[in-house]
Amino acid sequence: MTVRAETGDVGRHAARVGAALDAFLADGSDALERRPEWTAALDRPLPEQGLGADGVLGELERHVIPNGTRLSEPGFWGWITTGPTTIGAVTTLAATVAAPQRATLTAFNLLEEVSLGWLAELCGLPAGMKGVYSSGGSTANLVALGAARQWALERAGLDPAADGLDGRPLAIYASAEAHHTVQRAAGVLGLGRRAVRVVGVDDRGRLDPGALRRALAQDAAAGVLPVAVVATAGTTNTGAIDPLRAAGELAREHGAWFHVDGAYGLLGILDERVADRYDGLELADSAIVDPHKWLRAPVGIGATFVRDRAILHRAFTQEPAEYLEGSFTDPQDARVSLDAMGVPYQDFAVELSSPARGAVVWAILRELGREGVRALIRADNDLARRLADRVRVSERLELLLEPELSICCLRHRAPGAADPDALNAALLRRLLQETPYLPSSTLVGGRLAIRPCFINARTEPGHVDDFAAAVERIGDELVAAAA
């Protein structure tokens, strides 16, 4: 008997999944010890006969959900993504069912624009900047730098989106601490990864304006067209905020687009203790922020903002498609949702088919409000400062950099160890395997650092204290074993 796909009874099935997810969040165990069991249950040949919806839900409950990732655990601080909060998760389900596409005249299309406006205001972006959602910082940077390429070459008499590149030398300028998606965007956009000029940083990991000035001047003398200067508001390695005003003024002086990558740290402007470090943000021609980072939205939501969204249309518009053309009416005369496409986000970036991400951001901001978001930003920054204070009073731990936002870089001093970096790397592996704490590592001044980033809604101050004690204990054990 052929099984047919169910198309209703969403509430009953969602309730089963919800109960399994609540159990998963409460469990906190790592499923790798059960890997042979769930691998064998899931890695099977394509079935001839289906199980039906209830059978699939049973497998989700038994084998899939319990064996997910540990991103939602209170001690997960390794990546700048985390398990979503409840309202973001359930709004994603609502959007998936009620608006599988963000287009047409629906409440979900409206909430794309409403939430983008709220988000720009929340981040202190210049009035009038408009945006578009995409899947995250990688695509958001690609869209922003695509706008920069369009703008720079239009000024030089070329339409790159329509006619391609003409072989002239081009450059993008970014610090050595900038996210590597800048290089990838340059490659995808046809400039080439080697067109990214890697600019030196100061002792806090911030872009060095003097080095940027020299790079721009050197290229100007060689006839290289400056496409964009990229400044980072919260680097992924250490949370450093580049000198935005100096970078923006140099971009203006040399006729380059000024882009601010705030995928992680742009919302840090809400913490008044560091708000002055965002001075110069008003110079930005484009900026990005990822709600799936500090707003704890489900992964897959980034936003690109530009001063004039018409540049996005020129850079990313699609050629006409017969199946879409001529089937819509003026929105003022619309009587049903399919009478018009709504705001044409499909012409502002690289996606045609796209989920309604704006409803998720709207729900989170509607739940918390400006002050609620401000409070969570401050609380996470406080956790990094709390850890830094704890490290400073420890004889066995070393603080490698004062926290600027919610990242704290530390290590065990490893007294007497022949290779302190190797000992700290071994310490990190044991933390991940033996404790509830899951930071990552990075390099600070050429030295390996243990790097927790606090954006997890489930983290409490006590977790930070216990983590510091675990670093001390495991490091001491490794030092003793090596003696």
Last residue of a domain, one of 319, 339, 365: 365
Mean pLDDT over the full length of the chain: 91
Whether residue 400 lies inside any domain: the answer is yes
Q: Check whether residue 360 and residue 393 sit in a common domain.
A: no
How does pLDDT run across 11-50, given as a tens digit for each residue?
898 899 989 888 988 886 666 667 888 889 988 998 888 8
Q: What is the pLDDT of residue 27?
A: 80
Query: Are 422 and 471 found together in one domain?
Result: yes
Q: Is residue 22 part of a domain?
A: no
Give the pLDDT confidence of 261-285 residue by residue, as tens digits: 999 999 999 999 999 999 999 999 9
Domain membership of residue 7 (yes or no) is no
Residue 73 inside a domain? The answer is no
Backbone angles phi, psi at 37, to 5 degrees: -65, -55
Domain count across the chain: 3
In this prediction, residue 326 carries a pLDDT of 47
- For residue 400, the model assigns a pLDDT of 96
Amino acid 29: pLDDT: 64
Q: How confident is the model at residue 68 (pLDDT cuts 50, 70, 90)?
A: confident
Read off the CATH number of the domain in which 217 is found: 3.40.640.10
The rounded percent of the chain whose pLDDT value lies above 90 is 71
Does residue 357 share a domain with residue 395?
Answer: no
Are 324 and 445 part of one and the same domain?
no
pLDDT at site 340:
57
Q: Is residue 226 part of a domain?
A: yes
- The whole-number pLDDT of residue 67 equals 85
Query: What element of type H or E holds 260?
Result: strand 257-261
For residues 231 and 379, membership in a common domain is answered with: no
Q: Are residues 216 and 355 in the same domain?
A: yes
Q: What percentage of the chain reaches a pLDDT higher than 70?
A: 93
- Its pTM stands at 0.92
Question: Which CB contacts under 8 angstroms, 24+ apart, belong to 85-90?
Answer: 85/296, 85/364, 85/457, 87/363, 87/364, 87/367, 88/295, 88/296, 88/297, 88/298, 88/360, 88/363, 88/364, 89/21, 89/298
| Residue 333: inside a domain | yes
Residue 367 has pLDDT above 80, yes or no: yes
Burial profile 381-406: b = 16 or more Cβ within 10 angstroms, e = fewer: bbbbbbbbebbeebebbbbbbebbbb
* CA separation for the pair 170, 147 (Å, rounded): 14
Higher pLDDT, 335 or 153: 153
Same domain membership, residue 302 and residue 435? no
Are 347 and 419 part of one and the same domain? Answer: no
What's the confidence (pLDDT) of residue 341? Answer: 62
Residue 83 inside a domain? The answer is no
The residue that leads in pLDDT, 469 or 67, is 469
Q: Identify the CATH number of the domain in which residue 445 sits.
A: 3.90.1150.10
Claim to verify: residue 432 and residue 316 sit in the same structural domain:
no
Task: Collapse the DSSP code of 76 into the 3-class scheme (helix H, G, I; strand E, B; otherwise coil) and give the result.
Answer: strand
More confident residue, 46 or 473: 473
Same domain, 126 and 231: yes
Structure tokens at 219: 């290229």
Range of the domain at 40: 30-64
Give the model's pLDDT for residue 107.
85
pLDDT of residue 331: 60
Q: For position 36, what pLDDT does the model report? A: 83
pLDDT for res 363: 95
State whether 350 and 383 are in the same domain.
no
Query: Of 273, 246, 245, 298, whose CA–CA distance to 85 is shortest?
Result: 298
pLDDT given at position 298:
93
pLDDT of the residue at 24:
87
Asked if 163 and 265 sit in the same domain, the reply is yes
pLDDT bin (cut points 50, 70, 90) of residue 99 is confident
- Is beta strand 225-232 parallel, antiparallel or unpaired with respect to 170-175? parallel
pLDDT for 225 equals 96
pLDDT tens readout for residues 306-347: 999 999 999 888 866 554 554 555 565 556 555 556 677 787
Among 327, 345, 365, give the residue marking a domain's end: 365
pLDDT, position 307: 94
Tell me the range of 32-41, 57-66, 467-476 where mean pLDDT is highest.
467-476
Domain stops at, among 365, 395, 417: 365
